[in-house]
Amino acid sequence: MSPKHVAAVIVAVVLSAGAAYAQESAAPPAQPQTASQRLEKQKNRRARAIHLKELRDRQANGGTLTDQEKAELTRALNRKNRRRT
């Protein structure tokens, strides 16, 4: 065998071994989320965002909320609670 053929064989073996290793270590595909799971996650994100806004507003004002901030939070909570799902 010529040196070019030996090099080609070595490259082919290394590449195929890497591909085989990658296939062995891959985790099985996760089950796709159902619509209700996605909606539940979305509701949790919205609630978390409202809660974080309240915390930031309180920190900025020494632990209290201004009347405008209270109104904004109340409106956001009402909108969240009115959403269907």
Tens digit of pLDDT for each residue in 35-47?
Answer: 999 989 998 999 9
pLDDT reported for residue 15: 64
pLDDT reported for residue 54: 93
Reported as a pLDDT band with limits 50, 70 and 90, residue 13 is low
User: Rounded distance, CA 57 to CA 51, Å?
Assistant: 10
In-domain check, residue 1:
no
In-domain check, residue 16:
no
Query: Can you tell me which residue has the tokens 């009347």?
Result: 67
pTM, two decimal places: 0.56
Reported as a pLDDT band with limits 50, 70 and 90, residue 5 is low
Q: Who contacts 47 (Cβ-Cβ below 8 Å, separation ≥6)?
A: 80
pLDDT reported for residue 52: 94
In-domain check, residue 7:
no
Q: How many domains does the chain have?
A: 1
